Structure formats: structure tokens, C-alpha cells
Structure 1
Amino acid sequence: MGLLKPLGSEVSLTIEAPVREVWSLVSDVTRIGEFSPETFEAKWTKGSTGPEVGATFAGHVKRNGVGPTYWSPCRVTRCVEDEVFEFAVGTEKVTVNNWGYRLEAQGQRTVVTEYFRMEPSLPTRLYWLVLGRLRGRTNEKGMRTTLERMKKVLES
């Protein structure tokens, strides 16, 4: 049964800011270092300059804030202005996981949901079976921290 569980989770937060402002922030990967506890910088790559399906960027990561740093290649997979920004982490041939933001306008407020999901393969399902609960909690804490930091900036 453990192999069939969802390979991801999500966290939502209401931000007192219009969806346009929230969109501008979540889709600007060059600002992620201001908010994420693990990805402390990112840059557009391979000629990409902004959010659109197929655009590429690299995130500079320090997992759990400890250990060595590394660059993760990413590719935008969904990009609907004011609604969803999603990207795949991995190479062009192998996606490890997906991260994204869903936005729901509520007048001058926005409900923003950050989510991640692992790609369903035997190795990721085994990884999730063994470490999923721990990794899921770590990711949920990181997503909540990211959204709270974004909220602070957007509401100030």
C-alpha cells in the first residue's frame, strides 16, 4: 500500500495582496533566495529570461540548510499567468520532482498554494516509502516558511 501513496504534498496561505502581485513574485525565480530555506539563489539559463513553458533555470540548493551546495537544473512545465507556475527539477531526459504555485484570486486577497510531487517511478516510490514521511514534513515546513516570507514582503 505504501507504494501507492501520493508522492508529494502542498501548503496554502492567504496573502493580503492582489493575484497580479503574487504572480509577479512566485514566477520570478531570481527572487527565490529571499524566501526559500533551501534554494538560496536561482538564475535563468540557456537564453531564458522569464516565466514561460519551456524556459530553463538553475536553482542553487543547500538541502535542509546543511551539507554541500549544488545546482539543480529546472524547466518550466506550466505557466498560466495569475493562476499556476510549475517547474520540473532534473535533466531534460529525467524529471526527479515537480514544484509549483497555484493562485486563487479572492478580491484583493490571493490564496497561494505551493506544492511538490515526485515523479512516479520505482526508485522514487521506494525513496518515498522509506523517507517520504520525513521528506514530506521537511518540504511542508520549507513551503510554509517560503510562503510566510513571501506574505511578509507582499503585505508590507
Structure 2
Amino acid sequence: MTTSEPLATGEVRIDASPAEVYRLVSDPTVMVDFAEEVYRVRRRGGAGPATVGARFTGTNRNGWRRWTTTCRVTEAEPGRRFAYEVDTPFKVPISRWEYDLRPDGAGCRVTETSWLRVPRWFVPIAIWITGEPDRAAANTANIATTLGRLKAHVEVRARTSRT
């Protein structure tokens, strides 16, 4: 069920440089503070978070449901793009996530996008595990929440450091 069309996307303008925002979005152990579904991230291996090939494990939740995924960084272009692919612990592909950053005046625009990579036969299993029958709507809402929290964090921190 891999699609070339995004499953969900969202965008926000942040009053900070792409380089500053990239330092956050390229570190999943930091982004966990802003995410809605992911509540714990653990790096695997020795590579830093913003290194192509780096791996990390994400623990997710939806109500009482909990599940773990394994992730591999596929793109890491400082100040521009950070992307990773998500699999089940037993190597079934799930999704791809990407953060694109571009300058916008004195700040930047951040676009977060997800693609579905799951095989059709795994969809009912994924719904049972996550409790989410409408993954597109859930990801759209979660992206909006994540980007809103990221924006608030960066802009509050910037205002605080100026005073």
C-alpha cells in the first residue's frame, strides 16, 4: 500500500532560522517532547541523530494502546530536510516522515509530511495495534499538534533569550 502521494502534511512558519529549527527536528529524542503519539525515543547504535543511516526506536501510544517502531534516517541535509523511514520491529514497512525547511523572511517555513508504506495485508493489524482506523486524519491532526508545539517552544525560547 505504499503510495507516492503523502498521507498527511502540515506547515507552520516559525520565527527562527532554518538552521536553528533543523537542530530540533533532526533529533528525534528532542522532537518526542512535541509529538502527540510518540512518547519515548531511544537511539540505536553509535551514529548521531542527524546522520543518514542512524537508527532509533520509537515507543508510541494512543489511549491505552502502546507499540514500538524502528526507524532509520534516510535524509539529513542541515537547515533543509530531515527524513526517516519507520518499520515494525519485525521489519514490516510502515511509513516515511519528512521535515522540509525553507527560509521565509527572518524565519522559516517547516513542512512535516508522512507517507504510508505499509503492505495492504498489514493494514487491519496496524488498526488493531494502534486503535486508529483513519490514519490519514490522525496523522494530519498529530502533525498540526507537533508543529504548533515546536513553534511555541522555539518562539518562546527566542523571546526569553532576548529579555
In the superposition, the TM-score normalised over structure 2's length comes to 0.80
Using the alignment, how far apart are the partners of 1:125 and 1:142 within structure 2? Answer: 19
- Structure 2 match to 1:86: 83
Structure 2 residue matching 1:34: 3-state secondary structure: coil
Using the alignment, how far apart are the partners of 1:5 and 1:44 within structure 2? Answer: 28
- Structure 1 match to 2:47: 48
The farther-off stretch of 66-75 and 53-62 is 66-75
RMSD over aligned Cα, in angstroms?
2.8
The farther-off stretch of 4-13 and 114-123 is 4-13
Q: CA deviation at 1:68?
A: 2.8
Instruction: Return closer, same or farther for 1:4/1:47 CA change in 2, 3 Å cut-off.
Output: closer
- Structure 2 match to 1:117: 115
Instruction: Return closer, same or farther for 1:77/1:5 CA change in 2, 3 Å cut-off.
Output: closer
Does the aligned pair in 2 maintain the 1:19–1:110 contact within 8 Å?
yes
Runs of 4+ residues over 6 Å off in structure 1: 124-127
Using the alignment, how far apart are the partners of 1:42 and 1:21 within structure 2? Answer: 21
In the superposition, the TM-score normalised over structure 1's length comes to 0.83
Using the alignment, how far apart are the partners of 2:57 and 2:3 within structure 1? Answer: 31
Structure 2 residue matching 1:57: 3-state secondary structure: strand
- 5+ residue gaps, structure 2, are 126-131, 157-163
Using the alignment, how far apart are the partners of 1:7 and 1:55 within structure 2? Answer: 23
- 5+ residue gaps, structure 1, are none
Amino-acid identity (%) = 28
Instruction: Return closer, same or farther for 1:25/1:4 CA change in 2, 3 Å cut-off.
Output: closer
Listed as ranges, the matches of 1:58-97 within 5 Å are: 58-63=57-62, 66-90=63-87, 93-97=91-95
Q: CA deviation at 1:70?
A: 2.4
Does the aligned pair in 1 maintain the 2:92–2:118 contact within 8 Å?
no
> In structure 2, what residue type is equivalent to 1:30?
T
